[in-house]
Structure 1
Amino acid sequence: MSEDSVQELELISTIGFNGSVPHGLLVHPDGEHLIYPLGCTVVIENIKTHEQNFLSGHTNDVSCLAVSKSGKYVASGQITHMGFKADVIVWDFEAKEPYATFTLHKVKVEALAFSPSDKYLVTLGGRDDSSVVVWDLKMREALCGAPSALQSAGTVYTVQFMNTTDDKFVTGGNKTLRIWDVDRSNRKIRPQECDLGQLKRDVRCILIDSTDEFLYAGTTSGDLLQITIKTHLFKNSGPAKDKYSLGVHSIAMLKDGTIIVATGGGIVCALKAGTFKPIAQKECTLAGGATSIAVRGIGHQLYVGVNKGNIYRINFSDFQPTCINSCHYSGVLDVAFPHGCGDLFATCGKENIRVWVTDTSTEVLRVTVPNMTCHGVCFMTDGHSIISAWNDGKIRAFKPQSGAAMYTIHDAHKQGVTAIATTSDSSRIVSGGGEGQVRVWDISSNRQEMKAAMKEHKGVVTCIKIRANNMECVSSSDDGTCIIWDLNRFVRNQIIFANTLFKAVCYQPEETQLLTGGSDRKISYWETLDGSQIREMEGSADGSINGLDISDDGNYFVSGGNSRKVKVWKYNEGEVTHVGLGHSGDITRVRVCPNSKHIISVSADGAILRWKYPF
């Protein structure tokens, strides 16, 4: 099939939010859209309808975001590899297209800010760059630049323009707080240090009041500094006694002058301007460290992003937080549907398993095991339990309705459980481990017993699939082998060798053939009878194949991997029919839902994408 005939896979929704980006959650000035980063993509989400648009153009993770006061522009900066330059992209919000691309900073863009009339954009390089640059948005070129701090100071982390003039902005960082004047006629920017007296602070966020009289700086020490802008002199600091745990990471101001602080300890609190005294009953604690806070409208609603991947909405009247967006905050390692049901699916990763409603992408269950990582998840066919594989060597079973623990198989594998599958009669679990063993477990209501251990793989077991008759299973490993096992005699029936690290394997529905993918970027067909290769195809031009799944009718299969593309193939012809672009990280697994309505793909950046099944 020619490239021209390959169609685009329709992306329905994403689940994901990179909460580690400082000030990465924004409310657009129209009050109707949230803007936030997800990997190397910027997501624009309608607050009421949850309709999403995606700004894709960065080559690596987005590291900072800003929106202009008029709402006309959105700017995003990225991080890249050592020795390379990092792009800043200015987007036209209405058109959802790039307006300009600025490339000057090295390795990382630390922060961005628009001038009040959209005349300038100021960008801040990271510690490998240590420069501040002012860009002329109309001319789409750099106006001037300078080192961001004195050599005696440390990294500069944040930048903010004044509210009434395009010719002044403020930067803050480790032992530095500077007010800059823009001299357009001479193409110069001139800094003046703020006089903090004996105070030494690491500034992480800056707020300027509406009249440009005072600036407020949030510090890692957990207090706020108030500076008089006209004189550059320190005026006040607070709170006087109890400083905020893990620092003040974001601050905002309401129309009436109330200051909202969000801290690394997860506290969100309203303070009186000038005195920094907390306002009674205007404080709440969130699950995770707050990294950004955005004000909607006149301040009746606040949106807070935390480093655990959640977005909270707080109504100022009662100050009670509501989690409106929840997602994995690190790589998603597996995805599974219940047997014959496409209405729900489960995902797993660091510390937790989550169950989602497919049509609405809402989370309905979360199972948390602190400080552990779940490598695999599946549902028992009878629907009575969720079975999971963990890096501490344990297999854990949970109730799918409540998430309550049912049983734990201790020491299932010495080097962690890396793959798991269940038989169709719900009587057995087959697991694979980091040491290369495949083990079979008999499961009953009150006992879990190892039936056999099969030791032929020399590397990590990456995937296990069981035949419908429960007489046979196949395991793939990064030692370059796939082994078909007899589950009655617990011996090898066939072995497949290839010059690759096998990442995924699955049975074709008739179970006469196997499909494999791995680090050599090839997708291969194999006979289950004798292990002979039938066909080999180039599955990806740039990166490993990490996930494969075949539709129930066997006519199509889906692949995904380090190329970050979801591909739909005709099984018999071996041709790509559709390609989905939207992932920002390496795809780790893909699944076709049992009713063939959706495709779910998950990736190493924590994103979960739902695609429309095209047939």
Structure 2
Amino acid sequence: MRHSIIEAMTADQFSVFVLHLINNNHRMRLLLFIALIYFDNQACAQNSNASRRLLYFTQIKAAEALLRLNEVGEAKRVLEQANVSLRRWEWQLLNAMSDRSVQTLNGHRLAATAIAVNKDGSLLASGGADSSIVIWDARSGEKIFALNGHKGQINSLDFHPDGVQLISGSTDRSVKLWNIKERKEIATVRKDFFRSIYQCKFSPDGKNIGIVSWEFVPKSSPPVQGFAAVISLHDGNLLKRFNTDHHPASALDFSNDGNKLYTATWGFHVKQHDIGSGKDDWDYNIEDIGYYAAFQSCDLSPDGLRIVTSGKDNQVRMLDASNGKLLYLIEPHKGHLKWVNSVRFSENGKLFASASDDQLIKVWEAETGRLLHSLKGHTNNVNALAFSPDNKTIFSVSADGTIKKWNIEKTGQYKFFVCKSGPWYTPVDPSGKLLAAACSDSFLNVWNLETRSVVHSFKGVSAITAAINGDGKFLASANNSIEIFNLSSGKLLGSQRKHRSRITGMDWLPSKNYVATASGDGSIGIWDDRGDSITTVLCNSGPVYSVVFAPDSKQMIAGMSNGKIKFYNTSNWSEVDSFQAATSLFNLRIDPTGKYLLVSGDKGSLLLYNIKTKQRRELKGHNNAIYGIAFHPEGDYAVSASYDLSVKIWDMSSADCVLTLKDFKDELYTVSILPASKRLVVSDVAGFIHVLEW
């Protein structure tokens, strides 16, 4: 790598270079960090603001690219290296995106490898490669005490149904029973295992223990015998042994009545064994699949109807527990890109979660296999997870040495469906909690962004534009007619139809409860908060697509579909200025200071216009239509959402794109920045609202 080449790059050029490096192998990622260190040294040597800003924005773009590739640990390291004095909203957003856990616990010197939650969700047990077991208060995260006795890594933990006893399995080839109340070891269950214990689990009635492991068989080919053992908790006697296949048995579970045992192996088998007869009921065998597909984990659904499995082929399989038939398969392009180490059902059976070497935890709808959440925060392989009985809390352990707590109702990044046709506008109230979705499929709904539930539903109202006034009291919506609602009560205050064509844009006058409507008939209507007409402004330049008011209420700015921009004095509604922005226009926004006008259009057209100096600056980066634009309420940033499936954040002082967000699957239509609730809200043409919190 030649330093002179790197030094000559602009921030954008270096970001492209960074992304190229990240998308290649580990050697290329090493080169990335060498380059970043070099840039850091250059910035310090030059001791200039420009150099420091260049390094900072390069780090921001590198961190975003790394997060998109699920290289969470590397992304965090890049963010931590960013100059503290330069960290602003884009850094806060990425930092929040890099860890969505609600709590991080540190209790192990090495990797955290096993996890269990007791029946009432009050206690948490974690095990580590340091051979220790730590008992935590699951609700507060307080460390209560540690249990020591094993001489190897803890591979498995399980609480007894009585909540008093805990069982542990280790690479030291032992299974130990612990009394949690007395904080001591009761017994080593058996001492005649010859290899690591991969999993141990209590039967539902707590009378027996299931264990999976393997042993070396010299005269066999291959010389390995995997097995599952059912052992009496009372006396430690072996009740039943099942030889699985010539690979280690890696996972197990009991049926709800305790009569069946399910096993999964590295030999690509999942089996149901009858404990009474000692026979196998069925065998899901994928030995002939053609690639390495060792099973790592399995879990039976609470209703006993399904069993979920995961493995080293990076896939998740849902099987029918009655016959072992495959119900559905989650392939890597839809799920995890590395080994899937653990799968667990929620207590109610509606969800299951998976943990992977790709550093992610994913939450799925059990019935369909639909992905609901993807949780980032760990910086190394996620080894195991457990659901709390409340069905919303997940605990996970990782090779990064931490235990993390997650609330799947507060993931910090989510989406929800609002309508089939739209939403075309999504105004949000000043609190940042209520969103109105303007849809043209005959209903207008007001949503609570926190609960993702409908607060008010106005059936029969077809809307392609909407606006909420400055104090959050009134909601206006329009299509061919205009409707005014009291946002608090949901009451319709007035409805009028005066325009001869559709209404495509609207805005509230800050100094009065007046709303302006932009129409395809070439006019702007001015209405009071009861929907009564105040006046009509004729623009005489073709269809009016968008309208906004200046923050001081002295000017109204109208955007024509042909790209013409007109300024009007609100004291008498007379035209005072105009300019040609582009050949097409989709949206207008004015910043909170009244200094800048943002104009979006087709083919990635985005113009920043200084109203006082009339200076124009093209914001280049998008390559398709831009409908969604907004300013940060503090005026430091603009944000744009495009049909190119990306959101871009722009620095107003330099007009540079400081961050691009790309994890969207459909064309984007609207965008809002909500500092009051710390949310970035984006809508797409498929009818979904996307929320990113920071």
TM-score interval for Structure 1 and Structure 2 normalised by the shorter chain: 0.3 to 0.5
Q: Relative contact order, CA 8 A, sep 6+: which one is greater?
A: 1
Computing the radius of gyration from Cα coordinates, the structure with the larger value is 2
Larger % of strand: which?
A: 1
TM-score normalised per structure 2: 0.42
TM-score by length of 1: 0.47
